[in-house]
Amino acid sequence: MAEASAGAGRLDGRRLYLCTPDRPDLGAFLTACITGGVDIVQLRDKTLEARPLLARARVAAEVCRDHGVPFILNDRPDLALEAGADGVHVGQDDAPPALARRILGSEAIVGRSTHAPAELDASTTEPVDYVSAGPVSPTPTKPGRPGTGLGYLTYATARAGRPVFVTGGVTPDTVQAMAAAGARRFVVVRWLTEAHDPRAASGALRDAVEEALSR
């Protein structure tokens, strides 16, 4: 199994991971979510070209730095380096983790998406600090990808050998079943990106996570 990097320690104790596209109120939105309980942030926007994505990544990086929260950029280790991000998250069709590690160095956080046992097994030899497992339920953020169900989550948490963040349908109503299946860390998208009051929604989800993990 590949060893985690020096940046892996920055994941200690972090449970609630916001993944968001760009939005006009990005800075204020991130501040509200972090204040409510989010403790790691990823900017994932598949529509922006490199220069505007870099500009928005710098906005997110500054907010996260001010609040002591790691900032992860999706897909682009080169832009993550230029934006001063804490790391990068790569999918199965993105830059390989080894390349991301060479670009960002041993201090960075490198994450990897997994959706099936074979992908999870392959990740154990890659230079990544965490993996995501899911989506448990189908989600419009990953069009065309079926849900993995809770069985894959149990498989991933038992075998990954590093932090596992569950994805797909994370809400206050679903985290109890996810925790029972092995989840200890949760990626949230629509519960917060579609919330009228992101700070309150973040707080409600954080409370639900803490309750689920205490049982």
Catalytic residues: 44, 113, 142
Three-class DSSP category at 63 = helix
User: Could you please report the per-residue DSSP string of 160-215?
Assistant: -SS-EEE-SS--TTTHHHHHHTT--EEEESHHHHT-SSHHHHHHHHHHHHHHHHH-
Sign of CA dihedral 83, 91, 199, 206: negative
